[in-house]
Structure 1
């Protein structure tokens, strides 16, 4: 059971810090995270509830497409990634987003 709990915690890669994500926190109590590509909504819900001791009411996921980048003559692409927008029960907050 403990190995499963550690794997669940690894689902969350990092929070997404942007103007849009802070607007979602202010208006709708929704928090944005970068998650592992293979993670599904149940794993994301369990990881958020376990890490931050909050109650999740809704999880939405989307795939962020890769972008072309160029530096001088060399061309390449940034990797794509998976984003999760998590809505919390009214009254619950995640302190990580409150400081900015």
Structure 2
């Protein structure tokens, strides 16, 4: 019984790491799309740096940077932007559900 719970914890931790990676990947794609639409130089690097910080300071720096660039309608792709927003939200919800499941399993161990 205890071995099964250890396996469950391991699987939930692995799923959580994958979910965090999905959130990072979706957020990076969303920021890259926004940076391209605003004409910011090196959108690939900007997306990676903004999404890659653990405390969120990169995202805040990007939000401050994007204020100085206006959105260029001909470069914007609203359909792709909304898909990426939904994907990011879904990955975040998945991450939260895995975290709650992990907490329940850990609290059930006695």
Q: Same fold (TM over 0.5)?
A: no
The higher radius of gyration belongs to 2
TM-score by length of 1: 0.25
TM-score by length of 2: 0.24
Where relative contact order (Cα < 8 A, 6+ residues apart) is larger, the structure is: 2
- Which is strand-richer, 1 or 2? 1
- Which is helix-richer, 1 or 2? 2
